């Protein structure tokens, strides 16, 4: 343990770092609510004009809608197949366990840009890339969302007491009924939590989208990136604030359902 | 699903039952093979094709994509600069994250949830949004320079240079480093530190002789993760560097999306990936030698 | 009620044989305890009967039905798990109702039967509680109710008392026994606690290293073990290694390092055979050696010795007596508390309390003698 003097220094250092961590995030929210174009001190007053400006920007709204739609499709796919894959990984995998486990995590371990390039060239080679871009993006995003679902769901499955399922079987429930009545209700939290992570990951994804987006299929981060390169008004901050609100929700729900500590620190 | 149910009725009749079980992993396996393994293999192949101004590439084998990069001083400059930013960012992120990780790991149970949330929430806000926040703070007319001006000080160039890029990168990767280090620290029995103190070691000696060595696995994992993420990041160097800072990912993307030289871009990406792995290998070897000086 | 018949039941996990050639029958309504140290294969056996493990070889019959390859949900075995395995997301009543719902029993019938059985196990009023809101004993009784409410053809209990404190454990032994009698249900009861097995079971099956070592009534197992290993495992005993000197119809004499011992023994143990004599500490009398002439101490089953160690255990006192020849004899009794360490004493025991068994091949039985619990 740290002696009280040193502990105070540690707490102070930690506090400074937390401020550093949160500063840009808080600034974005303030910029969205500030009435002026540039953020100044003292702020020029509260206003929702940038929210209106966001709502009136057709490209922004279109990208926002597209990102939500894309994230919804990706979440649905990644959650279902990620959960079944976790079940396999924890319960039934034999010889190929280590290989499959590594493979499932690999998409977030290799640089996203590299995966994006590989997919771009591959889709061209197999003759995709003409369908407007939605399904290419779905595939790319699903690849990088599956690791999160697998990590979260298998973390809970590993601790799952198998004798509960045996008890259900013993009482006359077949394998499917056992899954529906016993297993699923007990891992529900992890599945929901994995789904939320998948949604946020897809919604914020940049690298793969940069290479795979099409003309009618521009996810919001790409739209924001293009916007940021040339202009600088707080309409963007509004998009950021929406994203931050989602993040806060995710943290709250995850802490509730799985416990952040258990998830990240094993 | 019907297959699954039928297979389960006769437990232990292995083949049918096992085959049904593997249906659980089939979709992910197909996705990973068809859209992850194959594209990477394809990337390798394309990197040896001949670039062409009129087609995506010509199906003629060549190693010139690699040799051209290997002989180009400008490209090597960008590679070295990227690695330099990577090393500096990793070192700074480690120095900054360690105290935070220690504080988090040893926080009272009741406060841990809140602190975890503080560390993780930036992670969930897109990189783009956070970078935008830094732009508001760091640009020439940004909040920090406004504050400096108000104090009668000269404005500092905080953005569109390496400094701005590294501030952004360190900020983005602190949560990864903290999470990697906090795990092992949490696993260290606090009584070990008490024992060291009771044997007469001061705070720093206890830290260097007991706490730090036991947290090394987390430090290794964290530094590797942050280094790899840093040198492959695109958004932050582009925006906070304002295209005045050139890194490998920026150059690769430019080769692919603006020059449409897919074979050249692929070769460059693969070469850089190989260099990254070589750097990590050297790093792990150096660590191994530090741990066992005799060998 | 169905009887349970296991025929040559064998289970290999890779190279390891967890259970080898187990043949066992539990008669209708009988409670059979599977007793053995951890890793002896008793739990694997139970799991094979329940259908959670597939035997490598052998058959499992419940009544006239061969269930060896039947899925667990179609065996109609009631089972109580070691950690109860109560569904944490269901209330006590919902837990108990689960098996009935699986059997498509009508709602009103379910409600009636759940209420009745919960009342019977003393959980009336707690039906709405979740498992985590129940005490260990209450969870245990919920698990019992859940297993019994489906009218199973047999009942399987896997160390059901292992997670209760000592006092509650004793109470629950009698409770389970009376419940089992009332339902008249054929029961397999896995335990590593020999006291539990002796108290509860009609017959005890002692398993070691995956092999059935003895299958008998508790009194037989305790007083007339078939091997040194079983003798050492059940209760506390002194094991004196030696060689059979002579044998009459009932009695035999064994030459041990501490002297000649007259006793009874396993049939087939003839003169010249290597043997181990088991004498329970509570069957040994301890007398002072000061009185009388030295010779009077000698006689059949009277050994001279010195008190090496004396431990006060409350109701009884435990002695270790050095009787020479490198043999320490453990004695436990009420009346002899007066002796102190270093006192010269005479230990004696009746002929019918010394029981000789064949020496285990390759295992020095004396090492595992008295000192062990």
Structure tokens at A219: 């996810």
pLDDT tens track for A70-122: 999 999 999 999 999 999 998 887 778 888 888 998 898 888 899 999 999 99
Residue B10 has pLDDT above 50, yes or no: no
Check B193 against A1: CB less than 8 A apart.
yes
Residues in chain A closer than 8 A to C77 (CB atoms): 170
Of A103-117, C33-47, C87-101, the poorest mean pLDDT is in: A103-117
Q: CA–CA separation, B86 vs C276, rounded Å? A: 75
Which pLDDT does position A253 carry in this prediction? 82
Shortest Cα distance from A7 to chain B (angstroms)? 9
| Among candidate residues C159, C162, C163, C126, the one with its CA nearest the CA of residue C145 | C126
Q: Which residue in B4, B8, B12, B17 has the most chain C C-beta atoms within 10 A of its own C-beta, making it the best mutation to test that interface?
A: B12
The CA distance from B148 to the nearest CA of chain C, in Å, is 59
pLDDT at C39 over 90: no
Minimum-distance CB partner of A185 among C72, C89, C146: C89
Q: If you measure CA to CA, which chain C residue comes closest to A186? A: C89
Residue of C nearest to A169 (CA): C73
Output the pLDDT for position C367: 41
**A167–chain C Cβ distance below 8 A for any pair:** yes
A181 part of contact set with chain C, CB < 8 Å: yes
From the candidates C102, C105, C148, C149, which should be mutated to test the interface with A, based on the most A CB atoms within 10 A? C102
Touching chains, C (3+ CB pairs < 8 A) = A, B
Mean pLDDT of C6-17: 93
Q: Closest approach of chain A CAs to the CA of C196, in angstroms?
A: 23
pLDDT band per the 50, 70, 90 thresholds, residue C335 = low
Tokens of C85: 């395995």
Please list every residue in chain B whose beta carbon sits closer than 8 Å to the beta carbon of residue C48: none
Verify whether the Cβ–Cβ distance C51 to B8 is below 8 Å: no
Which tokens sit at C289? 């050696």
Low-confidence ranges of chain A (pLDDT < 50): 1-2
The answer, yes or no, to whether residue C366 has pLDDT greater than 90, is: no
Q: Do C73 and A186 touch (CB under 8 A)?
A: no
Among all residues of chain B, which has the CA nearest to that of C50? Answer: B11
CA distance C293 to A165: 72
What are the tens digits of pLDDT across the range B165-185?
999 999 999 998 998 898 888
Confidence (pLDDT) at C291:
54
Q: What is the pLDDT of residue B287?
A: 84
pLDDT at B16 > cutoff 80: no
A172 and chain C: CB distance < 8 Å anywhere?
yes
- Report CB contact under 8 Å: A172, C150: yes
Task: Name the average pLDDT for chain B.
Answer: 86
- Orientation of helix A235-257 relative to helix A4-33, angle to 10°: 130
Average pLDDT over residues C82-88: 93
Residues of B in contact with A240 (CB under 8 A): 125-126, 128-129, 132-133
Inter-residue contact C40 to C208 (CB < 8 Å)? yes
For chain B, the residue count is 295
The pLDDT of residue B271 is: 92
Report the residue of chain B nearest A146, measured CA to CA: B28
* Nearest C-alpha in B relative to C74: B9
DSSP letter at C75 equals S
- Angle among Cα A173, A177, A180 to the nearest 5 degrees reads 140
Residues of C in contact with A176 (CB under 8 A): none
Contact C358, C278 (CB under 8 A): no
Give A132 or B162, the one with higher predicted confidence: B162
Nearest CA in chain A to C146: A171
CB B137 within 8 A of CB B143: yes
pTM of the prediction?
Answer: 0.80
Alpha carbons B271 and B281: distance in angstroms, whole number: 15
């Amino acid at each position: 343990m740290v002696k009280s003097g040193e502990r105070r220094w540690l707490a102070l250092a930690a506090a400074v770092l937390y401020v550093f961590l949160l500063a840009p995030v808080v600034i974005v929210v303030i910029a969205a609510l500030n009435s002026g174009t540039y953020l100044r001190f003292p702020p020029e007053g509260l206003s929702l004009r940038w929210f209106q400006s966001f709502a009136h920007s057709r490209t922004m709204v279109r990208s926002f809608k597209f990102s939500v739609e894309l994230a919804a499709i990706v979440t649905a796919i990644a959650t279902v197949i990620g959960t079944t894959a976790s079940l396999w990984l924890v319960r039934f995998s034999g010889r190929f366990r280590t290989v499959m486990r590594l493979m499932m995590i690999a998409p977030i371990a290799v640089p996203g840009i590299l995966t994006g390039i590989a997919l771009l060239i591959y889709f061209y080679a197999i003759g995709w890339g003409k369908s407007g871009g939605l399904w290419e993006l779905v595939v790319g995003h699903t690849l990088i969302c599956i690791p999160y679902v697998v990590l979260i769901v298998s973390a809970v499955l590993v601790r799952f007491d198998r004798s509960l399922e045996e008890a259900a079987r013993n009482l006359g429930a077949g394998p499917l009924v056992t899954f529906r009545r016993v297993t699923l209700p007990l891992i529900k939290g992890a599945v929901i939590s994995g789904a939320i992570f998948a949604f946020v990951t897809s919604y914020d994804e940049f690298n793969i989208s940069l290479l795979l987006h099409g003309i009618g299929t521009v996810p919001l981060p790409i739209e924001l990136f293009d916007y940021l390169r040339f202009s600088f008004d707080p309409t963007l901050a509004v998009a950021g604030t929406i994203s931050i609100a989602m993040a806060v929700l995710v943290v709250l729900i995850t802490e509730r359902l799985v416990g952040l500590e258990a998830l990240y620190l094993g | 699903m019907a297959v699954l149910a039928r297979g389960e009725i006769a437990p232990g009749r292995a083949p049918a039952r096992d085959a049904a079980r593997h249906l659980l992993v089939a979709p992910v396996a197909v996705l990973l093979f068809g859209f992850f393994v194959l594209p990477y293999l394809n990337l390798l192949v394309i990197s040896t094709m001949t670039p062409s101004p009129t087609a995506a590439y010509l199906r003629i084998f060549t190693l010139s994509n690699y040799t051209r990069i290997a002989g180009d001083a400008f490209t090597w400059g960008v590679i070295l600069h990227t690695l330099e930013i990577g090393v500096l960012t990793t070192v700074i992120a480690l120095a900054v994250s360690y105290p935070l990780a220690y504080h988090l790991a040893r926080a009272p149970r009741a406060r841990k949830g809140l602190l975890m949330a503080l560390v993780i929430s930036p992670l969930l806000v897109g990189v783009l949004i956070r970078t935008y926040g830094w732009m508001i703070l760091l640009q020439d007319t940004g909040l920090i320079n406004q504050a400096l001006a108000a104090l009668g000080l000269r404005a500092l160039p905080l953005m569109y240079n390496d400094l701005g890029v590294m501030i952004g990168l360190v900020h983005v990767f602190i949560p990864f480093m903290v999470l990697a280090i906090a795990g092992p620290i949490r696993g260290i029995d606090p009584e070990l530190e008490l024992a060291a103190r009771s044997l007469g070691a001061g705070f720093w000696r206890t830290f260097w002789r007991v706490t730090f060595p036991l947290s090394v696995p987390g430090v290794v994992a964290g530094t590797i993760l942050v280094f790899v993420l840093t040198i492959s990041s695109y958004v932050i160097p582009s925006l906070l560097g304002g295209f005045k800072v050139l890194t490998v990912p920026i150059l690769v993307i430019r080769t692919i999306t603006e020059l449409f030289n897919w074979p050249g871009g692929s070769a460059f990406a693969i070469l850089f990936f190989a260099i990254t792995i070589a750097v990590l290998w050297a790093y792990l070897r150096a660590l191994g030698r530090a741990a066992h000086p005799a060998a | 009620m169905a009887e349970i018949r296991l025929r040559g039941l064998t289970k290999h996990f890779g190279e390891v044989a967890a259970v080898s050639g187990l043949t066992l029958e539990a008669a209708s309504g009988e409670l059979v305890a599977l007793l053995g140290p951890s890793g002896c294969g008793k739990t694997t056996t139970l799991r094979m009967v329940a259908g959670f493990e597939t035997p490598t070889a052998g058959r499992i019959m419940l009544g006239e039905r061969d269930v060896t390859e039947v899925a667990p949900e179609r065996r109609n075995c009631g089972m109580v798990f070691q950690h109860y395995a109560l569904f944490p997301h269901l209330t006590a009543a919902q837990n108990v109702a689960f098996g009935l719902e699986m059997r498509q029993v009508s709602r009103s019938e379910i409600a009636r039967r759940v209420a009745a059985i919960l009342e019977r196990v003393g959980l009336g009023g707690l039906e709405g509680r979740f498992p985590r809101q129940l005490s260990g004993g209450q969870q245990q009784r919920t698990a019992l109710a859940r297993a019994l409410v489906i009218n199973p053809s047999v009942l399987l209990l896997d160390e059901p008392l292992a997670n209760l404190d000592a006092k509650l454990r004793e109470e629950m032994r009698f409770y389970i026994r009376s419940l089992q009698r009332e339902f008249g249900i054929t029961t397999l009861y896995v335990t590593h606690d020999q006291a539990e097995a002796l108290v509860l079971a009609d017959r005890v099956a002692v398993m070691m290293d995956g092999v059935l070592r003895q299958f008998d009534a508790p009194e037989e197992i305790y007083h007339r073990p078939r091997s040194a290993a079983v003798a050492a495992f059940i209760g506390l005993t002194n094991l004196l290694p030696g060689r059979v000197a002579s044998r009459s119809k009932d009695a035999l004499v064994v030459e041990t390092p501490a002297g000649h011992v007259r006793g009874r023994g396993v049939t087939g143990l003839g003169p010249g055979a290597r043997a181990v004599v088991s004498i329970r500490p509570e069957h040994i009398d301890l007398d002072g050696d000061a009185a009388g002439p030295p010779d009077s101490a000698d006689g059949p089953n009277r050994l001279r010795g010195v008190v090496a160690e004396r431990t006060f255990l409350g109701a009884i006192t435990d002695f270790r007596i050095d009787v020479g020849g490198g043999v320490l004899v453990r004695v436990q009794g009420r009346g002899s508390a007066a002796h102190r360490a270093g006192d010269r004493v005479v230990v004696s025991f009746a002929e019918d309390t010394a029981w000789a068994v064949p020496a285990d091949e390759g295992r020095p039985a004396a090492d595992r003698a008295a000192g062990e619990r």
